[in-house]
Amino acid sequence: MARIRTTVDGLVYEDDVEPRMLLVQYLRERLGKTGTVIGCDTSNCGACTVHLDGLSVKSCSVLAVQANGSEVLTVEGLERDGQLHPVQQAFHDNHALQCGYCTPGMIMQSIDLLGDNPDPTEQEVREGIEGNLCRCTGYQNIVRAVQDAAQKMKPGATASQPASVAGGGA
């Protein structure tokens, strides 16, 4: 067993874990954070995307021990005071999901993308989410949602909440 100390969605956790435990297993099975889902378990589909120290990673391809000393942000840590993150809201407003299974990963990767590029073109959005697969092939509305969120997160935009770009402030 290995001792790890992580901050997940703003709270500090200390646990003993098996070295082979994946970060996504730790989040779901130890912490009960089932908002982060397991899709392919082979680092292909991106459904399990979370932020590790502010950068998007595929949590099925990171060991829990690799997150020791780090901050993890999951889709469950995005809302503030009952308000959805602007990217979550944009996915809702644009109906950017069909079955919804890819949605947590799509949202986390989109937030990472907008942190690097606050005003992406359609092509840049498609490249930015190249590591996230939607098996319903519902990409059109996903791309629209990311661009919509980008507009609403611009400085001066009249959003329903202060725009917070990378990491949702955590």
| Contacts with another protein, residue ranges (CB under 8 A) | 2, 18-20, 22, 41-43, 46, 49, 52, 55-58, 61-63, 65-66, 68, 109, 112-113, 126-132
83, β-bridge pairs: 80
41/76 with CB nearer another protein: 41
97/133 with CB nearer another protein: 133
Long-range contacts of 116-121 (CB under 8 A, 24+ apart): 118/150, 118/153, 118/154, 118/165, 119/150, 119/154, 120/146, 120/147, 120/150
Q: Least distance (Å) from another protein to the CB of residue 163?
A: 21
Tokens of 86: 């602007």
For 165, phi then psi, to 5°, come to: -85, -105
Q: Least distance (Å) from another protein to the CB of residue 86?
A: 19
19/169 with CB nearer another protein: 19
In angstroms, what is the C-alpha Rg of the chain? 16
- What is the C-alpha separation between 141 and 91, in angstroms, rounded? 8
Residue 125 · residue 143 · CB < 8 Å: yes
8/111 with CB nearer another protein: 111
Q: Least distance (Å) from another protein to the CB of residue 17?
A: 9
Q: Least distance (Å) from another protein to the CB of residue 109?
A: 6
